[in-house]
Chain A
Amino acid sequence: MTVALETTGLEKHFGGLRVTRDLSLRIAQGARHALIGPNGAGKTTVINLLTGVLKPDAGRILLEGRDITDLPVHRRVLRGLSRTFQINQLYADLTPLETIGLAVSERLGRGGDWWRGMGTRGDVNAEIADNLSRFHLLDVMNQPTATLAYGKQRLLEIAVAIACKPRVLLLDEPAAGVPENERRDILSAVASLPRDVTVLLIEHDMDLVFSFADRISVLVNGGLLVEGAPQDVARDPQVKAVYLGEAADA
């Protein structure tokens, strides 16, 4: 198997607290991989380490075989690692058109262009139009993001990440807070990604995890507890004890 994203011996301490312990993950290219775990298991820290928001205290991160441990956030994005946020991180004053336009411009290396106006490059425009129509955002493309309905903002959140044309996409609870009838748009958008794009899903919703993932890693106390196919993970007694048992109680 070709490995798209790999970590070896990843460690992160906050003071005396070990939030990530000797974490070694291997995510196959084209996988639909889910990372689950109870609250406080350190899932968000893992995302922040993978994307470069946090620097690990030990261990390496490899994207498609190349070491990205020391790269800043934006360079990892240009290498093909993009993410969505659990809580929308959008540009309140910018429109969806501008938001997507920026992501496309940066990826095509036009982001630093200070002389040509936005909207004057055919290749950029074509991609913006394609992206906006795919996420049903054409009708609101000129409204400031802050004025959009929550469901639309959520779609935009996913649309921006995909506008970066990721090789590996990290989805942090993509359906969080989205009403049932709008979830379909988001899930179908994720499902329609090209098969060679690798997706790592961080999720609480077990229905979503088991319907989406072909492989699951369970994180407990910052370390990897179990990894395997969904049916094996569901049957694993350890997982039942620490995770599903707890979820059933809650």
Chain B
Amino acid sequence: MSAVTTQPDVSSQAIAHARWRAGEVAFWIAVLACGFLFPSRYLIMTDIVRLGLFALSLDLILGYAGIVSLGHAAFFGVGAYCAGLLALHGIITEPVIALVAAGLAAMVLGFLTSFLVIRGVDLTRLMVTLGIALLLEALAERFSDITGGTDGLQGIEIAPILGRFEFDMFGRTGFFYALAVTFLLFLLARRIVHSPFGLSLRAIKNNPLRAAAIGIPVNRRLVAVYTLAAFYAGIAGALFTQTTALASLDVFSFERSADLLLVLIIGGTGYLYGGLIGAVIFRMLQEVFSTLTPQYWQFWIGLVLVVIVLIGRQRLHRWVLWAPNLLIAQFGGRREAVAVPESDAP
């Protein structure tokens, strides 16, 4: 009897998680607004958007599936070089198609290496991912006739997007292009994490033993999400090349992978916005600290990290969100996004 009456309840409750929240809409409007408010800052903003997309890619495997990586730059680098070579040799001149091709190249590498990564525990994964990135960096250096070696690819020229929008010297086109690509990929990621597939990743991260015990093919799911994340990272790398007309060995660098982990730790994992917010904060901190103390900015970044880890991100979030939540309660006439369940309320 209860099954019939409660069924709509279950369905609406299950869908509720995937519904767009006011804060999310506000976030994207704010990001878009930046494109019009700060016309002199396109280059740094493009850099932030790219970094955000790259971090989103890491969030998919780390925040959802619990796979740690210290070599995510491997896919970034493959995407970057791929986009650069395609443009340089005029193989695919149209940027959007080249972007997808570069993403697919990174995806193939992600699929092939996923079998090495999913085996073993966190420490093994750190070492394997790190090793693969170093390996690629060395290969890129060795085959300098293709990659340009330490000089990088010289003389890349990027054709107009869709044959219409030319890249300008202020980086305006580049910014909106990077933003559009990132937004589309964000939408896709958002769709995926709210699907049964996405939920099964969280189950695997929580308890792989039980995940297998309810019929989840754990390894296959991990391969799938690792491959997907590689595609995202490859796109981020291709965006880098297309918006800067550069591709050099440092796309594979360890610092790039390590910075990425910092970005995600600052922004928080497992809710998709962590990478984007982390990218903004990370670059702004970098900017602020490097103007204040050009030599010691890394010291301050380090200090911020320690504080975040010690205080705990949840507590920080609560402090930061205290004012907005108050406003929502006042003007929206409803309670904050994270409400106390009825039965728990005193």
* A contact set with B: CB distance below 8 Å: 51, 53, 72-75, 77-78, 82-83, 85, 89-94, 97-99, 101-103, 105-107, 110-120, 122, 125-126, 128-130, 132-133, 138-143, 147, 160-161, 163-164
B12 interface hit (Cβ, 8 Å): yes
A103-B214, A132-B10 known; 14 other A-B pairs, CB under 8 Å?
Answer: A77-B213, A85-B213, A89-B210, A102-B200, A112-B197, A112-B221, A113-B196, A113-B197, A114-B196, A117-B194, A118-B194, A122-B11, A163-B214, A164-B215
Decide if A110 touches B206 in the complex (CB within 8 Å). no
Residue of A nearest to B9 (CB): A129
Nearest first, the 10 A-B pairs at minimum CB distance are A119-B14, A91-B206, A114-B197, A77-B215, A106-B215, A73-B212, A89-B210, A119-B15, A105-B196, A133-B2
Decide if B15 touches A118 in the complex (CB within 8 Å). yes
Q: A91-B203, A140-B343 are in contact. Are A97 and B13 (CB under 8 A)?
A: yes
Q: Can you list 20 A-B pairs, Cβ within 8 angstroms, ordered by A?
A: A51-B213, A73-B213, A74-B217, A77-B212, A89-B210, A97-B13, A102-B216, A103-B214, A110-B196, A111-B197, A111-B200, A112-B224, A113-B195, A113-B196, A115-B192, A118-B14, A122-B11, A132-B6, A140-B343, A142-B13
Decide if A116 touches B195 in the complex (CB within 8 Å). yes
Residue of B nearest to A132 (CB): B10
Decide if B7 touches A129 in the complex (CB within 8 Å). yes
Residues of chain A within 8 A of B12, CB atoms compared: 119
Decide if A111 touches B196 in the complex (CB within 8 Å). yes
Q: In the complex, A129→B224 CA distance in Å?
A: 30
Partner of B17, one of A118, A122, A126, A161: A118
The digit string for B1-43, where 1 denotes a CB below 8 A from any CB of A, is 0110011011111110110000000000000000000000000
Residue of B nearest to A126 (CB): B7
Residues of chain A within 8 A of B6, CB atoms compared: 129, 132-133, 138
Q: In the complex, A95→B213 CA distance in Å?
A: 17
Decide if A93 touches B202 in the complex (CB within 8 Å). yes
Residue of B nearest to A120 (CB): B15
Q: A89-B207, A128-B10 are in contact. Are A117 and B195 (CB under 8 A)?
A: yes
B344 interface hit (Cβ, 8 Å): yes
Residues of chain B within 8 A of A116, CB atoms compared: 195-196
Most buried by A among B3, B198, B214: B214
B305 interface hit (Cβ, 8 Å): no
Residue of B nearest to A78 (CB): B215
Residues of chain B within 8 A of A133, CB atoms compared: 2-3, 6
Partner of A114, one of B2, B15, B198, B220: B198
Residues of chain B within 8 A of A92, CB atoms compared: 206-207
Residues of chain A within 8 A of B199, CB atoms compared: 94, 98, 101-102, 105, 118
Q: In the complex, A136→B179 CA distance in Å?
A: 47
The digit string for B37-61, where 1 denotes a CB below 8 A from any CB of A, is 0000000000000000000000000
